[in-house]
Every structure is written in C-alpha cells, then in structure tokens.
Structure 1
Amino acid sequence: MRKVELLAPAGDLERLKIAFTYGADAVYIGGEIFGMRSAAKNFTKEDMQEGVNFAHEREKQVFVTVNIIPRNAELEQLQKYLIELEEIGVDAVIVSDPGVFTIVKQTIPNMEIHISTQASTTNSGAANFWYNQGAKRVVMARELSFKEIKELRDNTPADMDIEAFVHGAMCMSYSGKCVISNYTTGRDANRGACAQSCRWKYTLVKEETPGNYEPVIEGIDASFFFNSKDLCMIKYIPEIFESGITSLKIEGRMKTAYYVATTVRAYRMAIDEYYKDPDNWKFNPIWLEELKKGSHRDYSTGFFFDRPDSNAHNYKSASYIRNYDFVGIVKGHEEETGLVIVEQRNRMFVNDKIEIIGPFKETMHATILEMYNEEGEPIKSAPHARQVVKMKLDIEVGKDYILRKPIASITTV
C-alpha cells in the first residue's frame, strides 16, 4: 500500500523531538527569517542542525518554511540563508513566492521544493506548472474538496507529492491572504506577523437609514463572525487515502509540545490502523477524545465535503476549549532511587490523579504518590514553571511520556 506521510509542526527543538518521538514522519519548521510564524520561537542555525541530525538518525525529514512574500531588500539575504539551509542538510524548503522559487533554483538547485498553501493551488494546471518548474510537492489550497483533490491527482504526475492540511486552525481568508491584521495592528499576515484579528469581537451592522443600524446576521449573536472552527479529519482516513493525498499536514507551529504529542499520537494510531486492514477500518472515538484533550476550538471538516456553511464558524467565542492541563514531561529516572524525573509545565500535587500518554502506548492512569525537589527534599506541590521534580508513581513510565490532569472548568487563552 502507498504510504502517506504524517507531517507535524515544530516551533522549536523540543517540539521537533516530541513530534518524531510520537510518530511523525516529517516536521516543518521555521528559521529566524523568511517564515510565516514570526511569533513562534523558531530555530537558530544551531538548533536547526541538531534537529536535522535528530531526524536523519531516525530516517525522518525536516522541511523549512521560506514562504513569506518578501520585499526587495529581503532578497539580498535570501541566498546566504538558502546556502546555510543546504549546508545544514534540510530535506526541503517550502515557498510561495515565484521570486523566492527562482532564487532557490539558482542558489541551491538540488534542494527539494514544496509549494506552500499560500500559493493557492486549486487546479491541476497550476500544480503541473509548479511541477514542470521543478517543484516536488504542492500543498493544496485549503479551499478544495476531496473530489477536487482527486481530480487534481488524476491529472498530475504520479511522482508529484500532494500535501493537504487535515488538522488545526483554519484561516477565514482565502489561502491565508489576509490584510485585516495589517490594517488593525500594522502586523503583516503575509510576512509572518498575523495578530489574528479575525478572532476578535466585532459588531456587524448595516445602515438601513441615516443613523439607523440593524444587524446583518439576524437571529444569532454573531460577535465573532470571522472566527473559523478548527479542522479535524481524523474520522475520514479512508477518504484521505482515496483522494490521493500523500502528506497529511497538522497545523500549529505556535502550539505546545503537548499539542504536538497529542495530535500526532492520535493521527498515528488512526493511520496505522488503516494500514492493518483498509477494507475494515473503523473510526475509533478514542482518537477524537484524545484530540479533544488538547487545547482546541470546536471542529469542522472545512472544505473537504462541501463549501462550509454557518456551522463552520463559532460566532459566540474565539476562546480555546481546554479541559486538561499539561502538567509535566518525563526527562528520565534517578538511578539510585528509581524515581521519575519530571519537568513541570503546570502546577501539580502529591496524590493528584493524572493521565499519562506515551508514544505508541495506550493512555495510562496514575497517582503521584511522592514528590521531591532537586535536592531530594519531600514537597507537596510543584508550583514553579519548568521546575524539575522527582516523583514516585504507581506505574512505570518512559522518557518523553507526558503527564496531564483534568481541570475543573474550561479555561481560555
């Protein structure tokens, strides 16, 4: 069976390693320049080198975003940056601008090029154009249905990869081409600095007569009328395979290591189950429940089945749904005592009932029986950010396992 790629976001080196540990086949990252997520930590040259080495040791791949729409002055430093990427050994660059594409071909002609979703590829003619220019992969515009992707697949070379977003935040603007952020804050969405102005609260009215304003959308509170629901396609793995998509992309380079682990783990389980018996694959509700234990908005299927209607937006709130706290990540074990060494991410207490997830493992339940600080002194809680603690659990866990616990009420970002 044709293998599909599970492609994960990585905003920094920790998230890159977590993505691969939990089952990603490749990650996409941004350097300190030319990427579309300037607010993410992103990768220094040294971190990028370490990340690429980590990936290649595991026969995985790293793709680097070079997908902003640059100004003339920025092109002067582009060639030097591209040469650095080639020296580091990245596997591909992701571009959207034809000028950047041309410079990549001239500067590092052997580098694999992927065409970003920002290029709005919606038809086989455009996909074939990029392929004939030398692109290996085209990332579909998010506005395509399964039917349209299948038609594109049937009319493009078989060795051209087709990548599509299957999970994560959706932009209300066509292929991300938005100027609202630039207008409202001076932060350019097409240069990596989007303020997500579409998530803000607005009042949408029309002037019926001078000074007389009426709601445009009747019957609902539409204060967040730009606010798209998140995309989630984990129920539709067979349709993804049948459409000809070769890379399943998860959105979220600014999301946490917990989000990366949770999302990659769920899709890895769903894909692997499909490989076992495609004809009898059944959606397991546990996979969706796992996704919902990460920070998310309400889910939709985007454009995959039809053009979204009003149900694809959440008009009442732009807040994330968060039912679980990521409380810690296992860093190893203390040799003398066997205690688990954990780096804290949210407050936790002795006697807490927690859940633990690990790569390619079922969700486990545990109790924190004892906890000690780095000096070995007993403590009742771990309240300090990134505090390293040693603890005794009632189950065995491995490195990079993640500790989480339910929270009493839904909170927002």
Structure 2
Amino acid sequence: MLRVLTAGESHGPELVAIMEGLPAGVPISSDAIRADLARRKLGYGRGSRMKFEEDELTISSGVRHGLTLGSPIALRIGNTEWPKWVEVMNPEPTELTEKSRGRGAALTRPRPGHADLVGMQKYDFDEARPILERASARETAARVALGALARAFLSELGIRLVSHTLSIGPMRVPEDASLPTPDDVDVLDADPLRCFDAATSARMVAEVDDARRAGDTLGGVVEVLAYGLPPGLGSHVHWDRRLDGKLAQALMSIQAIKGVEVGDGFVTTTRRGSQAHDELFATAEGIARASDRAGGTEGGMSTGTVLRVRAGMKPIATVPHALRTIDVATGTAATAHHQRSDVCAVPAAGVVAEAMTAIVLAEAVLEKFGGDSVGETRRNLLSYLDALPDALRTTPASDAAAAATDAGV
C-alpha cells in the first residue's frame, strides 16, 4: 500500500512530503527531484514569485546512498522567502512589528474562486489568511516531489510518463496532432507553454500576451500520457478500486482543476457507438486495438495501451482587475484582495498532473504486484505477463514485458 501526505503553508518555513510503501532499491536522485520542482515553475505567463522563491530540497529519511530503504521517505522543501514571513506565520503567539504589519494585515475581503469565504465559514476564522496559506497552489511543490519518487519507481518497471499542454483559452492543439513521448520532455520544457505543436504554441503565447494587457487570466487543458503499462491495473469489482476513478480523483484534487477526462472523454459522447469504441483484431503478436479512443482504460482497468488522461484548469481566480466581493469586517461592497498572480499557470498544472498520475499508477502497480523490493515487484510483473494465455495476449502487453525486462538490466 502506497500512502502520501503533505504538510505546510504557502509562506511557512517549508513544505513536508512523506511517502510510505515505496519498495527498497529504487534509485532516487536529489537532482532529479529538483529538476521536477524547477519544471513546476515553467511556462509563459507565470508571475514574479516563480523568479525569487526557491525550493530548498532535503531528503530527511528513507533513502541511503541513492537507493530507497523500504521505510517511509520524508522530504523537506524549504521556502527561501520565510525570513520575510516569520512574524506573520510564526506558530507562537506573536505581536507584529511595524515592518510586518502590512504583510500581516487581516484579509477580510475574500477572493471569488478561492477557498477564502467557504474556508472562513467552515473553520470559524474572521479572515482568510489561515485558509489561503494552505489552499495555495504552493502545496503542489510537495506533490511534484512525491511524484518524482513514484516516477523513479515506475521507470524501474519500464513505465514512463510525459505531460503536455493541449489548450490555453480558446487556442487548442489540432485533434490529429502527434502525441509526445517521454523522450520529448526536453523539447516540451523548452517550449514557452509546454506545447508539442509549434504553431499552436505561438498562438497560445499571443493569447497570454493579450490577457496580460487586458489585466485578465487564462486556463486550459493538459494531458498526461503513460507508456509501458501492463493490462490489469485497477479493478472493475468496486467503485473505489477503478483506475480511471482514482485518476479522476487525484487530478481533480489539484488546485484550479475543474474537469477530468480519460482518452477522448467528452468527445466520445458526441459519437455513435459504432465509432466510439476500440475494436479488436488479431495479429501475429497478439490481440491489437484498432484505435485508442478509450485512452488506455476499460472497465476501470488499464488495457496496456498508452494511458491518456486530461485535466481542465480554470482561469486563475486572482485576477489583476480585482473581482467584486464583500468586506466581511464591515459588510460593505469591496474589491477582492489581490495577491501576486500568474496570467497563466497551465504548463505548471501539466507537471503537477504528471506527478499525481505517477503516484496513482505506482499505487496501482503495488496493489497488483506487491514487492518489498523493486526487484521483487519486477519479477512479479514479468511473471504475470508471462502467464497470460496466448489467446489473451495483447500486443502492448508484450511491449510492457520487454520494457520491464530492459529496465531490470
């Protein structure tokens, strides 16, 4: 069983991330985790905070000499801006000095689209600071670090992931555009919006520029692709064990995500049944699917084809043209508090979605194949694939076996 936990506030001293259940023997690189944390800050349209707020990574436990021990892994992500917020966010009772009084002023004008007002109601606070500090997307840095651990485990089994941007506002990649592979990550990260189609990327950049000039923000859609999955992860037998359901919950939990689809998702609802499903046919290597409209899952289980899952991000709610609200201290009409904001954070959402997908897939792999060491997990996976009857073998399953075998060399 894989368990993850994050703790920490946006302007606190650090974020803490814990993962329990990762097998022993997984190669872990601090540089690889730092690289993913840096990728979370990528994207045209990001705000100034990405430039001066550094993530100071420390691996506190669970890893020795670059390999996991099988014990809980604890990560700390220090906030270099903490010295400016010591008084405002101090866990001890503190009187604010004149220097910190402005930064620590009560936030009584809740921002529409944020957790501010509902959180104040739920937790009985008279201002939004105690809510927004935890609700902030800063918390996703901890998720990305945990996702790096999960991806390191999956890569040992030949399972690799990549994410990319499908749309920014109305600008969308053509439906017939080629899909990126994990070998294209560097190309994607070099693109201003992590888009795999250069012409669409240029239109996206222009859209971001237009929104910035208008004092507005943009959302969009990201897609995560997972290659090398075996068939049979997840289950059809109960709602909470379905792989597609777990993916949907994980991606919907990301701040500002308002929709999730697997494969062709909502487009499939516009098709007739004869055009909506992936027909099967025989090949010399085994059963193959004529298409991948289902996006790598059927009946709540992985099919062994490429997994495709998409997440739709709403426009950032902290709009430079501050939205109308109520000052709860006076009951009068007001404009919402305006914190530093991005125009567009969709590329970063793709990196976070990739991390969450990796965590879900790592959990599904361990549920199916177990193993106290990564070698044991690999043997169990290969044994499962080898035991499939010839009449039931699918071509991607053979590819998954080859990938797992290669990863163990």
Q: TM-score range by the shorter chain?
A: under 0.3
Higher share in helix: 2
User: TM-score scaled by structure 2?
Assistant: 0.26
User: TM-score scaled by structure 1?
Assistant: 0.26
Identify which of structures 1 and 2 has the higher relative contact order when contacts are C-alpha pairs closer than 8 Å and 6+ apart: 2
